[in-house]
Amino acid sequence: MTRIVTDIGRQGRSGRSRRSGRAARRERIERGGDDRRLLPVALALWGSCLGTHLLFDAGMAMMDGGAGRDDGSTGVTNSWALSVALLTIIAVAALWQVGRVCARNGTGRVLIIVCVAAALLGANAAWCADVTAWSDPAAAAVRDGAAYAAVEGTALGGAQASSNRNVDCQTDLRLRTFSDGSVIQPSTATVRLFASGHACTHLRRGAAYQAQGTLSQAEIGAVRLWLVTEDGNVPQRIRDQPKYEQWRERIQEAFLDATEGLSEQGRILVPGLTMGFLGQDRLTEESSGVASIDDTYARRLEDRFRTAGIMHLMAVSGGHFAVIAGLIRRIGAWLLADRRVIALATMGASAMLAALMAPGDSVGRALVMGWVSAAAMFLGRRPQALSALNVTAIGMLLTKPALAYSYGFALSCAAVLGIILMARGIAGVLARLLPDALADMTAMTVAAQLATLPIQVLMEPSLPVWSVPANLLTAPVVTFATLAGLAGLAVAWASPSAGAACAWVASWGTQVMERVAMWLGSGEQATIPWAGGVGGAMLLLAVEGSLIAAVLTVRRRLGLGRDAAHGMHALPGERFGRNPRNRIRIWWADTVGMMERWNRGDA
């Protein structure tokens, strides 16, 4: 009888422990300040979009490879379609089985169902987008090789220095019509237009053009079609820029003119830090009087920035929007403004900032995420960075599935995700030895680096050795240089002298960045060779997982709480362990107290 009662008691205790463990897991997933429920949904959507795109490309390659054969091309197509269907069925069944296991372990089946639905929705969106792009007349015309084409389209940007050495400039066109010389067909493809000579100074963002030349598949870059115009064949403008595009171009050109009086590093880096547009990419007429930038120095400086691991400073990301949003909140608090007014002002300022920046996927991510956070403030909800990031990724992937294989979008999201998930824990460990500000700064840099390195390895099989020190050395000047550059961008169109003064102040900060890049980005020891491709990325993920596990172990051994309060400002009930930093602070506090008592005794 005693044994039966004991067994029943053990079962009850084990049942309560299991229930408490499940509740703890649910609380950890759904905690208000760190709600992670949408993270698996976003990852499932992203993975399905990327996987569908890869499957589509592989299938189209098989079909194109068998198109010229009379024996078996139809069989290849049918077998490929059957393989895709079988893989889809297997993936859904596997996810459903995982859902059953998770439901037994305390995780809600609803989350798994939502992930499956998101994966299927993403696969459908990506498939439709790929089919639309593949069946476009412009894409179909170049499958068998380069061909003559006459197109009409709208320029998505101004003329920039060309990545093709045979021509002078380039811009992207969103097509409206396509003609192979015999039939004019509607088209929605995006092509990269290459031009030379006098035509480069007349390409304006937002204007519509007629162009003709050789259309071919792209050799490099995200845009899959290239249209190279012949010498003397200038694209004809058929519609002028809208008014807001003229306003945008006037402000940008005024700021670029304001940087002309700076040193060479300032003329290159200040526009890059402010607008994401390096100074050497600006095209001007020879008669304009603007001094040209030394191409050799510009290429070396860009290479050193990339090798040192601080090239992201020259790309507009969430930092610009965070600076503007923080400034508006401070001004609103000083004026005692209503939160709705602050939220609307933040959204308006973010939209104007994005309009003046060089277009990019990271800019779009930062803009949408800022709007989501501002909407939460408008509704009286506390903004949550992780939830805002997940909502942003889900919304943008559904509206534009091609972002799933955009390196810029992936790097931007990964850096923010790493900072949100890992920076606090890393700072808690580093704060045992470093001052609070330096610990937080180092933790953010390390967290962003850990999250983005696997993606960087896919782009280039090497690891930057001095990335963390380079980011720490440049961090003190990034904010003030960015603010000075944005101030110059805002006033240069009205007062060129004021814009030049702001650009000169910003060049102080870029001078520090240039020195750090030239110092840490030089030499063969600046990078470590690493395996490239998916294998290299997976290997790096395994190494990073081991490092994160070690950090968590150290954090648990040191008794740091989840919120990782630094130093002597420990939370109530948190273990206050011995470490060198606490010893120094206690010694300093005792010394100051002793000197004060000694002074009072003398008085």
Residue 579: its pLDDT value, please?
57
Report which of residues 582 and 543 the model is more confident about: 543
Q: Is 23 strand, coil or helix?
A: helix
Q: Name residue, tokens 């909140």.
A: 329
| pLDDT surpassing 70 at residue 213 | yes
The CA-based dihedral angle spanning residues 491, 494, 496, 497, taken in that order and rounded to the nearest 10 degrees: -80
Averaged pLDDT, 541-563: 71
Residue 396: its pLDDT value, please?
94
Q: How far apart are CA 521 and CA 304, in angstroms?
A: 5
Q: Which residues contact 371 (CB under 8 A, 6 or more apart)?
A: 347, 350
**How many other C-beta atoms can be found within 10 angstroms of the C-beta atom of residue 48?**
27
The domain limits of the chain are 37-134, 137-240, 242-302+466-512
Residue 500: its pLDDT value, please?
92
Give Cα separations from 158 to 150, 201, 222, 277, 491 (angstroms): 20, 9, 17, 11, 22
State the DSSP string of 467-504.
Answer: HHHHHHHHHHHHHHHHHHHHHHHHHTTT-HHHHHHHHH
Residue 99: its pLDDT value, please?
62
Give Cα separations from 438 to 326, 448, 481, 546, 552 (angstroms): 21, 16, 19, 24, 20
Q: Is 278 strand, coil or helix?
A: coil
pLDDT tens digits for 485-506?
Answer: 999 999 999 999 999 999 999 9
Length of the chain: 603
Q: Are 404 and 366 in contact (CB under 8 A)?
A: no
Rg of the chain, C-alpha, whole Å? 28
Residue 394: its pLDDT value, please?
94
Averaged pLDDT, 125-135: 88
Phi and psi of 262, rounded to 5°?
A: -85, 170
Between 37-51, 461-475, 544-558, the lowest mean confidence (pLDDT) is in 544-558
By CB atoms closer than 10 A (0-12, 13-18, 19+), residue 335 is exposed
H-type helices in 259-338, by residue range?
264-275, 295-308, 318-334
Task: Name the percent of the chain in helix, strand, coil, to the closest 5.
Answer: 65, 10, 25
| pLDDT surpassing 50 at residue 376 | yes
Averaged pLDDT, 499-525: 89
State the DSSP string of 333-393.
Answer: HHTT--HHHHHHHHHHHHHHHHHHSPP-HHHHHHHHHHHHHHHHHHTTPPP-HHHHHHHHH
Q: Which residues contact 601 (CB under 8 A, 6 or more apart)?
A: none
| pLDDT surpassing 70 at residue 171 | yes
Give Cα separations from 77 to 55, 84, 94, 185 (angstroms): 13, 11, 26, 27
Q: How far apart are CA 83 and CA 62, in angstroms?
A: 12
| pLDDT surpassing 90 at residue 288 | no
CA 595 to chain centre: 52
CATH tag, 137-240: 2.40.50.140
Q: How far apart are CA 225 and CA 215, in angstroms?
A: 7
pLDDT tens digits for 142-162?
Answer: 888 888 888 999 998 888 877
pLDDT tens digits for 23-66?
Answer: 555 555 555 556 778 888 898 899 888 888 888 877 777 766 54
| pLDDT surpassing 60 at residue 164 | yes
Phi and psi of 140, rounded to 5°?
A: -70, -30
Q: How far apart are CA 429 and CA 560, in angstroms?
A: 8
| pLDDT surpassing 90 at residue 284 | no
Q: How far apart are CA 100 and CA 110, in angstroms?
A: 10
CA 262 to chain centre: 30
CA atoms within 13 A on the CB side of 269: 32
State how beta strands 208-217 and 147-155 pair: antiparallel
Q: Are 36 and 115 in contact (CB under 8 A)?
A: no
Checking phi first, is residue 380 left (phi over 0); if not, alpha (psi -120 to 50) or beta? left
User: If you average pLDDT over every residue of the chain, what do you get?
Assistant: 79
Q: Which residues contact 405 (CB under 8 A, 6 or more apart)?
A: 50, 53
According to the per-residue pLDDT averaged within each range, which of 14-18, 220-224, 262-266 is highest? 262-266
| pLDDT surpassing 90 at residue 572 | no
